[in-house]
Amino acid sequence: MASYNKEAAGQHDSALTRWAERLGVSADSLDRLGATVDPEGAIVFPMQDAERNIIGHRRRLPFGQKLSIKGSKNGLFVPTGPHDYERLYIAEGPTDTAALLSMDLPAIGLPGTGQCIDSAVSFVRQRGVREVVIVSDRDDAGRLGAKKLAEALEGVCSVRVCEPPEPHKDLRDWLRAEPLLREHDLIEHSNEPKSSAVEIGDDWPEIIDVATDPVPAFPLDALAPVLGDYAEAVAESLQVPHDMPALLGLAIGSFALSTRVDLRPEPDWWEPCNLWVCCLMRPAERKSAVLRLMRAPLDEHQRSVNESLAEQIEKTHRQEKALRARLDRMIKKVANADDPAERYQAE
C-alpha cells in the first residue's frame, strides 16, 4: 500500500474550490472522492480496491500532468456517501467521475482505459448493481476500454455505453459546455442496454471432432498473390504445411493496418484489425525458421525506416529533454511560491 500523509497534503477548501472551478465540477464532488491538495498545488485522489480499501493515490499537477505516488497500486475512484446502486455510472478517470457526481449520479471511476476492470466487476457484483452505464471518452482508446468493460460485465448486469456527442471529447467537456446536463441526456446518447440474462437453447449443433475429422487445406488462392506465392515458397523450401507460413503472413500483414484501420460490426462495437494466430507444432518442426522468413520483409522495412528517421529521432529526443527541463522549472516555481496569490498566478 502506498505511504501517504494525508495531513501533509494540505487540504484547504479554497484550494479545492479553485480546482473545482478549473475542472468544471463541483467542490462537493471532489470532496466526496476524498480529493486533497498537496503543498505543490497538485490535487490528489485516493484509489481503492473493490472492498473500499485505499491502495494508492493519483496526482494531477496544475499543468495537467497525471502520475501515481510512488508505491501506489491502481484502483477505483469511489465516492463517499449513500449510494443507490440500481443504476451505476462508471467513468474513466477521477475528473469524469467527479462530473457524474456533480450531476448527482451514483458513480465510480477507473484509473485509465481498460484498467482495473476486474475490480470494477467485483464492485458491481458485490453490490448487486442491476444496470451499469459506461461513460467513455470519444476516442478509439475510450471506445475500446468501454467495450472491454462491457464484455466483462456480461452476465453480471445490464450494460449501456454512453459516448459524448461531438464536439465533446469526454463527459467533463460536455458538462462544461452544457451545465444543465442531466441523466436523461446520457441515456439518450447511450446504446440499448444489453441484458445480463444468458440464453441457452434446447437444440445443440452437432459437435465436430477436430481430432479425427480431416482438416481442409488452407486456401492459398484466397490470399493476395504476393502473400500466397511467398507462403507457398516458404512452405516448399522448409517442407512445412502451407498453413503455418500463410497464417503467420496474415498476422504479420495485419501489423500494417494496426492503429490505421478499425472494424465496426455495430455502431457501438469497434475492433482493431490485428490478427492473433497460434501455430502449434511439435518440437523441431521449423516454427522459428518459418517465422524468421515470414517476418523478414517487416524487419527490413523497420530497419530502413529507423535509419531514415535517425536524425529526426535524435532531434525529437533533444526537444523533449529541453521541454522537460522547462516543465521542471515551472513546477518548482509554483512549489516555491509562498504567497497564495503568487502561487495562484503562477499556476
Extents of the domains making up the chain: 7-188, 220-306, 309-346
According to the model, what pLDDT value does residue 170 have?
93
| Whole-number CA gyration radius for the chain | 26
pLDDT single digits (tens) 105-164: 999 999 887 889 999 999 998 888 889 999 999 899 999 999 999 999 988 899 999 999
Q: Do residues 70 and 79 lie in contact, with contact meaning Cβ atoms separated by under 8 Å?
A: no
3-class secondary-structure state, position 283: coil
Nearest 5°: phi and psi at 57? Answer: -140, 140
Q: Do residues 89 and 77 lie in contact, with contact meaning Cβ atoms separated by under 8 Å?
A: no
Instruction: Tell me how far the alpha carbon of residue 246 is from its chain's centroid.
Output: 32
Q: Which class does domain 7-188 fall in?
A: alpha beta
pLDDT single digits (tens) 205-264: 777 666 666 677 889 999 999 999 999 999 999 999 999 999 999 999 888 887 788 888
According to the model, what pLDDT value does residue 336 have?
77
According to the model, what pLDDT value does residue 4 have?
44
- The more confident residue out of 272 and 173 is 173
pTM for the whole thing?
0.55
pLDDT single digits (tens) 46-63: 999 888 889 999 999 887
Q: pLDDT averaged over the chain?
A: 85
The full DSSP string for 131-163 is EEEEE--SSHHHHHHHHHHHHHTTTTSEEEEE-
pLDDT single digits (tens) 290-299: 999 999 988 8
